[in-house]
Amino acid sequence: MSPTIYLGLAGNPNSGKTTLYNALTGSRQQVGNYPGITVDKREGFTNVSGRLLHIVDLPGTYSLTAYSQEELVARNFLVEESPALVINVLNATNLERNLYLTVQFLELGIPLVLALNMMDEAEKSGMRLDTELLARMLGTPVVGMAARIGRGKEELLHTVISTAEQTDQSSWRPLEISYGPDLDPVIQQMCGIIRQNSFLTQRYPPRWTALKFLEEDVEVTRRGYEADPETASRLEKICREIAEHCERTLNTHPEAIIADYRYGFINSLLKQGVVERSRAMNRVSFSDKMDRVLTHKFLGPLVMLAILYAMFQITFEVGEIPLQGLVQLFDWLSEGIKAILPPSTLRSLLVSGIIDGVGGVLSFVPLIMIMFFCLSFLEDFGYMARIAYMLDRLLRGFGLHGCSVMPFIMSGGIPGGCAVPGLMATRSLRSPKEKMATLLTAPFFTCGAKVPVFLLLAGAFFPESPAQILFWLTLVAWTAALLVARLLRSTIIRGESTPFVMELPPYRLPTWKGLFIHTWEKAWQYIRKAGTLILAVSILIWAAMSFPAPPEGSTHAVKQRIQSIQAELEEAEAKQRRTSLQKELQQARGQQDKLRLSYSLAGRLGHGLEPVSQWAGFDWKTNISLVGGIAAKEVIISTLGTAYSMAETDSGQGASLSQKLARDPSWSRLKGVGFMVFVLIYSPCFVSVITIIRESSWKWGVFSVAFNTLLAFALAVLIYQSGQMLVS
């Protein structure tokens, strides 16, 4: 059997890289994490004429300079994993910008095949691209394609195989560009020193190492000092001298000169006939026409709010039937186990700890999948970038950077995200103070873990308008994040805001295949979390609610009453009397369960917090769920499900958790609103806290837990107490 060909798939964000990856690998892919970090590692396989291609989808990046974790991951993969070659995906409609990454691949000496994507859009706009000429000038194969409609896919695969079979990596010569009379002599001098001392030559080409030192690349410099401190010090001294010379004579620095000459090289390529533009290109493009409305100063935000509201409405309208179906399925499982097993610890564990706990979380899978589908459509269509562009105007007024937009959106600024990758994305912020303000406020948003909690409570207390509740909670999250950011930037992390520039990709219709793959990936992460972390925490909480048992004799009176009712029930003949006795029996058993719970570890903790939590209207069951929610916000649902299952009365039999909350006299709309606001703002989940600590320090991690919880409690108390005053 022919050996597997190991490939990397790289490109700029918005180049269509993910679309091509899905087209090549389909369902034959897996998602994990790179060791020790949270950046996704996507790997897939495809078979072409008996040759198996193993494709690793690298994070989208604009360069190989390690300013962000994504850039570092991509670069380390190329250097350490040594793929047979890299498929470099380029957006044909924005070739100048995309070729900047290509040039860096070539300078690193990476074997390439260029996939010139979106050729259909380029042709529609009046561009003609000479792929053969570009291939000759760069010395690497170029394939024109349109991944969205499958055009060029087979040609690309066969080109990749033939190139990989014919390429000897050791003979692949790195590209050498002239960087002008100021830098070229210095680069030559540095290359001589690097070769003479075999300085990092087993890892990088000498010229590339010299360029990284001139660009003040932290990662390469660190590795250099670890390998040979003396040579690294000599190279840094040369870099400082040339930097001072450039600053004094040209009023610039080497990194800027290098970037300018790279773009100059790219422009010279394009002007030699690679790109021809017709007069039709002077016409306003479809994307520009759309942006006149969607990014308009006044209309844009209104359209954005309408789109978000429509997304929530679709989620609830379409997802209600499958949601109720899952609720009935879990009720059927519970009743089945109750019919098979007699009252025992095992039955309690299966019904209350697992089915009612985890089942309460899994029942929201249909709603989560619909929401993820809508979000994937907006992202692939190109609208998410427009949301970031519009929100940049708003963020700057609150002391934040435009790059804070994406961490906020990833954290749940558009409901359904996750705080952890959002927090990791703050690495793109150069200013430490802007990064800190973003880190501390990103957990406020409606992440995918909080959404089921809000769906549960909205369905219980606002069944006529759940979409409106989720919409308003999203606005509350943004308001809280911006106001707290302004407070922090005005007090403990003062500093000036820095400018922001971003690229807006063209609008394009997503493929059904891509949408379904994205939706399933995100939904599967939710299901997997419910089956692992949530399951484990649910069992722990069930144990805390079950043990220790009440002292001997404390439940004697209730037991006697139950036995008395059971004896009377056996003798009763009248139907009306039997119905009445069955109701009394259920109430007595409920009292017995509540008494047992009050002696348990969880019951004592919940009751111990009541003197303080009652100011916000929270009882002991609510308190336990919120404590469990620090591990993961979905645990709030599983804890409430377990608590209500173990203290079940007649009103709770056969009812969903949402219905149980609605019927519980200790709950009200007012308490529900306060509870949702508290969940929205209070302590980040455990993994998010660890991420904040890794990105900053223990001090800021502890601060986020304490500050967020105190702020959330103050808001919940304000809502509950002011509401009580208005009602009375």
- Residue 86's CATH number: 3.40.50.300
- In this structure, the answer to whether residues 167 and 85 fall within a common structural domain is yes
- In this structure, the answer to whether residues 155 and 255 fall within a common structural domain is no
Domain presence at residue 193:
yes
Report d(CA 495, CA 700) in Å as an integer. Answer: 18
- In this structure, the answer to whether residues 81 and 196 fall within a common structural domain is no
- In this structure, the answer to whether residues 211 and 146 fall within a common structural domain is no
Which amino acid is residue 94, in one-letter code? N
**Which phi and psi angles does 551 have, rounded to 5°?**
-60, 150
Contact 657, 641 (CB under 8 A): yes
Contact 617, 516 (CB under 8 A): no
Q: Give 113's pLDDT tier (boundaries 50, 70, 90).
A: very high
Task: State which of 281, 316, 349 marks the end of a domain.
Answer: 281
- Answer with the residue of higher pLDDT: 402 or 363: 363
Range(s) of the domain holding residue 268: 180-281
Distances (CA, A) of 75 to 172, 452, 629: 17, 38, 38
Domain presence at residue 226:
yes
Report d(CA 80, CA 88) in Å as an integer. Answer: 18
Q: Could you tell me the sign of the dihedral formed by the alpha carbons of 668, 670, 673, 679, in that order? A: negative
Distances (CA, A) of 640 to 542, 593, 598, 668: 11, 15, 15, 16
- Residue 268's CATH number: 1.10.287.1770
Q: Taking 50 as the threshold, does the pLDDT of residue 715 lie above it?
A: yes
Q: Give 502's pLDDT tier (boundaries 50, 70, 90).
A: low
pLDDT above 70 covers what percent of the chain? 87
Domain presence at residue 358:
no
- In this structure, the answer to whether residues 129 and 248 fall within a common structural domain is no
Tokens of 151: 């055009």
Report d(CA 657, CA 365) in Å as an integer. Answer: 15
Q: Which helix (H) or strand (E) holds 51?
A: strand 51-57
Task: State which of 281, 296, 319 marks the end of a domain.
Answer: 281
- In this structure, the answer to whether residues 252 and 167 fall within a common structural domain is no
Peptide linkage before 550 cis (omega within 30 of 0)? no
- In this structure, the answer to whether residues 264 and 128 fall within a common structural domain is no
- In this structure, the answer to whether residues 13 and 140 fall within a common structural domain is yes
Question: What number is the average pLDDT over the span 117-146?
Answer: 87
- In this structure, the answer to whether residues 133 and 152 fall within a common structural domain is yes
pLDDT one-digit tens code per residue, 134-170:
898 888 999 999 888 889 899 999 999 988 888 765 5
Report d(CA 635, CA 629) in Å as an integer. Answer: 5
Q: Taking 50 as the threshold, does the pLDDT of residue 57 lie above it?
A: yes
Question: What number is the average pLDDT over the span 565-571?
Answer: 75
Tokens of 695: 């990105």
Q: Taking 60 as the threshold, does the pLDDT of residue 27 lie above it?
A: no
pLDDT reported for residue 589: 63
Report d(CA 371, CA 365) in Å as an integer. Answer: 10
Question: What number is the average pLDDT over the span 467-479?
Answer: 91
Q: How many domains does the chain have?
A: 2
Report d(CA 449, CA 364) in Å as an integer. Answer: 11
Domain presence at residue 709:
no
Report d(CA 417, CA 404) in Å as an integer. Answer: 15
- In this structure, the answer to whether residues 221 and 89 fall within a common structural domain is no
Domain presence at residue 511:
no
Domain presence at residue 364:
no
pLDDT reported for residue 680: 95
- Residues 6+ away with beta carbon under 8 Å from 325: none
Domain presence at residue 635:
no
Domain presence at residue 257:
yes
Nearest Cα residue to 73 out of 106, 114, 32, 113: 32
- In this structure, the answer to whether residues 167 and 202 fall within a common structural domain is no
- In this structure, the answer to whether residues 65 and 96 fall within a common structural domain is yes
Task: State which of 140, 171, 202 marks the end of a domain.
Answer: 171
